[in-house]
Amino acid sequence: MTFAIHGLPVARGIAVGRAVLVGSSRVEVAHYFIKPEQIPAEIDRVRVGRNAVVDELQRLQHAMPKDAPPELTALLDVHLMLLEDETLTTGVKHWITDRLYNAEWALITQLEIIARQFDEMEDEYLRERKADLEQVVERILRYMKGVGSPIAVPPHNTAVERRKSGAHQMSPDESLTVPLVLIAHDLSPADMLHFKQSVFAGFVTDVGGKTSHTAIVARSMDIPAVVGARSASQLVRQDDWVIIDGDAGVVVIDPSPIILAEYGFKQRQGELERERLTRLRHTPAITLDGHKVELLANIEMPEDAAGAVTAGAVGVGLFRSEFLFMGRKGSLPDEEEQYQAYRRAVEGMQGMPVTIRTVDIGADKPLDKGHKEDTHLNPALGLRAIRWSLADPAMFLTQLRAILRAAVHGQVNLLVPMLAHGSEIRQTLALLDFARAELDNRGVVYGPLRLGAMIEIPAAALTLPLFLKYFDFLSVGTNDLIQYTLAIDRADESVAHLYDPLHPAVLRLLADTIRACQAQGKGVSVCGEMAGDVAMTRLLLGLGLRSFSMHPAQILAVKQEVLRADTARLGPWAQRVLEAEDPVQAMAEPLTARPDGEPCRVDSGLGPLATH
Ligand code: PEP
Ligand code: MG
């Protein structure tokens, strides 16, 4: 039966595929496709892992002292019984043989299926056996990890490419070529990163806000995604057919042929639009009235630089360096590793500027799952970003030295997140001087840096002269500025309806920051999600913004808006929006004529397009 679940749209486009349910504790398991000739070896890996666990448990059983608590013996019996269960082994074989899943993936897929059956049991005792099953599977996985996979993970094989392209193939006979979509209760930003090169054509999570970091990484992968879909992971079953509408935030389960045909049409329309936009790649981003606009990329890893160049970015406006620090079980990257990573990003941008933001760990970006920030009562208000860096000067100095060294290879801007206090600014700058002195002492070369501060806390937006005194440029992090101005946790879907980029207070802080920078001839950009939202482009241009940093995937759509814009008309309109009680309504009102009475010419480089 067809039904739909509504969530928050985070990454545009339509994906159609079979559901792969992944529990959040198991997402680190590798997901890749094997070749048909590798099926026996892969089945054997599971068998060897399973047998090893059986041996281990039997040894424990025999070594059990006579006076051992009966619960313990019963527990071992249950674990052994679960290991003998045909449902587990037959299911695993099915996923490996019929779907060409690698062994670990097959194992956790079957685990999810059986776990659900346990969830549905009336008997509480039996329901609780799910935890035992999970433990047994974890044990097998551990053994398999020790044994290792004989198959290298193919970063991109043709099957993967076919699936990622969302090629919509519905015939069950062609099950090996159908796209797969991932459904999970929650995924951390590090988990998402793990899936960046993966086989999935789309994502759905139960939790998360539109600008949560999980959503941001999903958007950077440029595949359709919906977050905050509440009970999706409960309602969708393994292998169900699912449509993800990343534009509307809708997930359709078990779609009827007529719905499939409709979404298939929408999918093709989307692809055509994207193709059309690629023609703008080399077109300079200049408004109708001749204002040059800088369209920069937000990246998470050095390797993303290539995609930024392809998308036509003229630099990186935000390199979220914390992604180098996450999911490493507490071991942080040393100076050399960081230097190499920053250098790769700089070289990858082929002479264009790269803005490296110092580490922004904390809140919804813990170093590792279960790390103490996770359980902090108010992580967004806690030891996060620059506060975290200043609390660990040795770690911060390591990062600063690495960035200084990378600046030898191209134009590097240093961006500091979440500053609010003058003392934080002064400490940061003192540590930067110290890092330079350390490099001097070691005789290591380093390059010049332009210094920037992120405006993410209302306190910063209200004390701009202080920031302008010390920094060469400011970058508005609207994701956090909205969160902190409106007291809305950006990762909490239950208050997502109150997360409002057009709230008059947010617009006022944004407009003041742009104006203050311009008045002093300092650079200003927006690097929050607002910058990549085409619905906001005209407003930001009207407020005077000329530098936007966003996911590479958004650049061409925003460029199209820029090419159609006439700032002489947008300026007065944006002022009216700024002063309106209801900015949404004010934005819907038509633009007035140009002050000079000239008609507005439209020349987008793409042929006839609508005028505003
Ligand atoms: C922001 O807050 O707008 C921003 C760009 O930083 P992040 O999303 O990484 O917090
Ligand atoms: Mg931020």
Model pLDDT for residues 443-458, shown as the tens digit of each residue: 999 999 999 999 999 9
Q: Which amino acid is at 568?
A: A
Binding site membership of 510 for ligand 1 (Cβ less than 6 Å): no
Hey, whose CA ends up nearest to atom 9 of ligand 1? 320
Inter-residue contact 288 to 600 (CB < 8 Å): yes
Binding site membership of 214 for ligand 1 (Cβ less than 6 Å): no
Hey, whose CA ends up nearest to atom 4 of ligand 1? 477
Q: Separation of 180 CA from ligand 1 center, angstroms?
A: 30
pLDDT confidence tier of residue 69, bands split at 50, 70 and 90: low
Supply the pLDDT for residue 595. 60
Binding site membership of 528 for ligand 1 (Cβ less than 6 Å): yes
> How far apart (Å, rounded) are the C-alpha atoms in residues 69 and 116?
30
Given a cut of 80, whether residue 77 has pLDDT beyond it is yes
> How far apart (Å, rounded) are the C-alpha atoms in residues 433 and 427?
10
Q: Please count the residues of the chain.
A: 612
Mean pLDDT, range 3-11, rounded to an integer: 92
Q: What is the H or E stretch that residue 355 is in?
A: strand 354-357
Domain(s) labelled CATH 1.10.274.10 in the chain stretch across 36-145
Higher-confidence position of 31 and 247:
247
Q: Separation of 455 CA from ligand 2 center, angstroms?
A: 9
3-state secondary structure of 204: strand
Supply the pLDDT for residue 181. 92
- Catalytic residue positions, numbered: 213, 527
**Nearest CA to 420 among 369, 384, 450, 395?**
384
Average pLDDT, the chain: 87
Inter-residue contact 522 to 468 (CB < 8 Å): yes
**What CATH homologous superfamily does 287-369+379-611 map to?**
Phosphoenolpyruvate-binding domains (3.20.20.60)
Angle 86-99/103-119 helices, nearest 10 degrees? 130
Binding site membership of 478 for ligand 1 (Cβ less than 6 Å): yes
Q: Separation of 211 CA from ligand 1 center, angstroms?
A: 8
Domain(s) labelled CATH 3.50.30.10 in the chain stretch across 3-24+152-258
Tens-place pLDDT, residues 152-207: 233 333 333 333 333 333 333 444 567 889 998 887 777 777 676 677 899 999 98
* Ligand closest to CA 477: 1
Supply the pLDDT for residue 549. 98
Which among 320, 364, 415, 533 is the best mutation to test ligand 1's pocket, defined by most ligand atoms within 8 Å of the CB?
320
Q: Separation of 505 CA from ligand 2 center, angstroms?
A: 18
Atom of ligand 1 nearest to the CA of 456: 2
Maximum pairwise Cα distance, the chain: 97
Q: Separation of 418 CA from ligand 1 center, angstroms?
A: 9
Given a cut of 50, whether residue 390 has pLDDT beyond it is yes
Mean pLDDT, range 514-519, rounded to an integer: 98
Please state which CATH class domain 36-145 belongs to. Answer: mainly alpha
Q: Which amino acid is at 555?
A: I
Supply the pLDDT for residue 604. 44
Q: Separation of 547 CA from ligand 1 center, angstroms?
A: 16
* Ligand closest to CA 529: 1
Domain(s) labelled CATH 3.20.20.60 in the chain stretch across 287-369+379-611
pLDDT confidence tier of residue 232, bands split at 50, 70 and 90: very high
Binding site membership of 384 for ligand 1 (Cβ less than 6 Å): no
> How far apart (Å, rounded) are the C-alpha atoms in residues 7 and 205?
9
Q: Separation of 457 CA from ligand 2 center, angstroms?
A: 9
Q: What is the H or E stretch that residue 250 is in?
A: strand 250-253
Q: Which residue bears the tokens 């269960």?
A: 85
Q: What is the H or E stretch that residue 291 is in?
A: none
> How far apart (Å, rounded) are the C-alpha atoms in residues 224 and 320?
22
> How far apart (Å, rounded) are the C-alpha atoms in residues 244 and 193?
20
Q: Which amino acid is at 506?
A: V
Supply the pLDDT for residue 165. 38
Angle 567-579/534-542 helices, nearest 10 degrees? 90
In this structure, how many other beta carbons lie within 10 angstroms of the beta carbon of residue 131?
11
Inter-residue contact 280 to 559 (CB < 8 Å): yes
Mean pLDDT, range 480-498, rounded to an integer: 93
Inter-residue contact 490 to 211 (CB < 8 Å): yes
For the segment(s) 3-24+152-258, the CATH number from 3.50.30.10, 3.90.180.10, 3.40.50.300, 3.30.365.10 is 3.50.30.10
Q: Which amino acid is at 258?
A: I
Binding site membership of 533 for ligand 1 (Cβ less than 6 Å): no
**Nearest CA to 32 among 112, 103, 94?**
103
Given a cut of 90, whether residue 366 has pLDDT beyond it is no
Q: Separation of 461 CA from ligand 1 center, angstroms?
A: 15
Inter-residue contact 267 to 543 (CB < 8 Å): no
* Ligand closest to CA 481: 1
Which among 192, 322, 456, 529 is the best mutation to test ligand 1's pocket, defined by most ligand atoms within 8 Å of the CB?
456
Inter-residue contact 259 to 42 (CB < 8 Å): no
Which among 193, 210, 211 is the best mutation to test ligand 1's pocket, defined by most ligand atoms within 8 Å of the CB?
211
How does strand 3-6 pair with strand 250-253?
antiparallel
Tens-place pLDDT, residues 417-453: 999 999 999 999 999 999 999 999 999 999 999 999 9
Atom of ligand 1 nearest to the CA of 298: 5
Supply the pLDDT for residue 373. 44
Which residues have their alpha-adjacent CB atom under 5 A from ion ligand 2? 456, 477, 480
3-state secondary structure of 593: coil
Supply the pLDDT for residue 42. 94
Given a cut of 70, whether residue 83 has pLDDT beyond it is yes
Atom of ligand 1 nearest to the CA of 477: 3
> How far apart (Å, rounded) are the C-alpha atoms in residues 575 and 571?
6
Inter-residue contact 298 to 318 (CB < 8 Å): yes
- Provide the β-strand partners of residue 318: 298
Binding site membership of 456 for ligand 1 (Cβ less than 6 Å): yes
What phi and psi values does residue 443 have, to the nearest 5 degrees? 70, 30
> How far apart (Å, rounded) are the C-alpha atoms in residues 161 and 156?
6
Atom of ligand 1 nearest to the CA of 476: 3
pLDDT confidence tier of residue 609, bands split at 50, 70 and 90: very low
Supply the pLDDT for residue 323. 93
